[in-house]
Amino acid sequence: MTEALLDIKGLRKSFGALRATDNVSLTLNPGEIHALIGPNGAGKSTLIAQVAGGLSPDAGQIVFAGADVTPLGTAARAQAGLGRTFQISALAMEFSVLQNAVLGALGAGGSVWRFFKPVMRDAELRARAEAALERVGLMEHAAKRTADLSHGQRRLLEVAVALTLEPKAFLMDEPMAGLGGEGSKRMTAFLDSLRRDAPILLVEHDMDAVFALADRISVLVYGQIIATGTAEDIRANRDVRAAYLGEEMP
């Protein structure tokens, strides 16, 4: 059996009387996309926040690349190789596409003296930023103002910023949100190729994308995982169908 890169064990998180994450265990294996789906309010974002380090669990453990990262904060987990896509607000809209990517790569540098150097002339940072832009297909827009990119291109830039940290795995919370048909197609194709470099734990409401991409799907309902399996298993699962009653399930 392949050793899991990310091993989430018995995570619990309550807000008052509400158990937002109720004893959740799941794994992310090398090379895979593991999608986490569930109705609104099921606890998907709460779970991702605990894995990324922004929210402390009440109980449970997160093992990443063989190390217990549960006590670590967001920055230390990112340093350890746990990449997370940034929200759009994290991009500096007046900066160029390349400048945003260089700023991302700077975050990975970690040593304070770098801040005293003219950042854009740092060849290593710039090379890392350009490689990430190339990877997401944005290199031809490198000199553009970020504000002038389309919504879909900004989403790809967020992924490029995360890529500059050369993550071993990705946590993505709704990368398809707000993308039109063409944008979703591009992002789907990109994520499909990305899994080879770094597996992805993917929270996504776009079921077409989920069913096209996921090697495994876990279904979260009221904070609990009710099923994990292949797209075929999940489609055929009666509990899952009941949870999605009245909603779209391809």
Ligand X SMILES: Nc1ncnc2c1ncn2[C@@H]1O[C@H](COP(=O)(O)OP(=O)(O)OP(=O)(O)O)[C@@H](O)[C@H]1O
46 binds ligand X (CB under 6 A): yes
Sheet of 216-221, strand order:
82-84, 169-173, 200-203, 33-37, 216-221, 224-229
CB of 21 to ligand X, least distance (A): 8
Contacts of 27 (CB under 8 A, 6+ apart): 4, 6, 7, 8, 34
Cα distance between residue 81 and residue 16, in whole Å: 32
Helical spans, DSSP H, in 166-237 = 181-194, 207-213, 231-236
43 binds ligand X (CB under 6 A): yes
CB of 89 to ligand X, least distance (A): 17
224 binds ligand X (CB under 6 A): no
- Is residue 25 a contact partner of residue 31, using CB atoms and an 8 Å limit? no
Stretch of 37-45, 141-149, 163-171, 185-193 contacting ligand X, by CB under 6 A: 37-45
Give the one residue of 5, 32, 38, 50 binding ligand X; rule: CB under 6 A: 38
Query: How many residues belong to the site for ligand X (CB under 6 A)?
Result: 11
Three-class DSSP category at 232 = helix
31 binds ligand X (CB under 6 A): no
Give the one residue of 14, 23, 29, 45 binding ligand X; rule: CB under 6 A: 45
Cα distance between residue 41 and residue 191, in whole Å: 25
Stretch of 44-52, 77-85, 146-154, 155-163 contacting ligand X, by CB under 6 A: 44-52
44 binds ligand X (CB under 6 A): yes
- Is residue 214 a contact partner of residue 33, using CB atoms and an 8 Å limit? yes
**Touching ligand X, residues 5-24 (CB under 6 A):** 15, 18, 20
Cα distance between residue 92 and residue 100, in whole Å: 7
- Is residue 52 a contact partner of residue 171, using CB atoms and an 8 Å limit? yes
240 binds ligand X (CB under 6 A): no
40 binds ligand X (CB under 6 A): yes
* Of residues 58 and 140, the one with the C-beta less far from ligand X: 58
| Residues engaged in binding ligand X (CB under 6 A) | 15, 18, 20, 38, 40-46
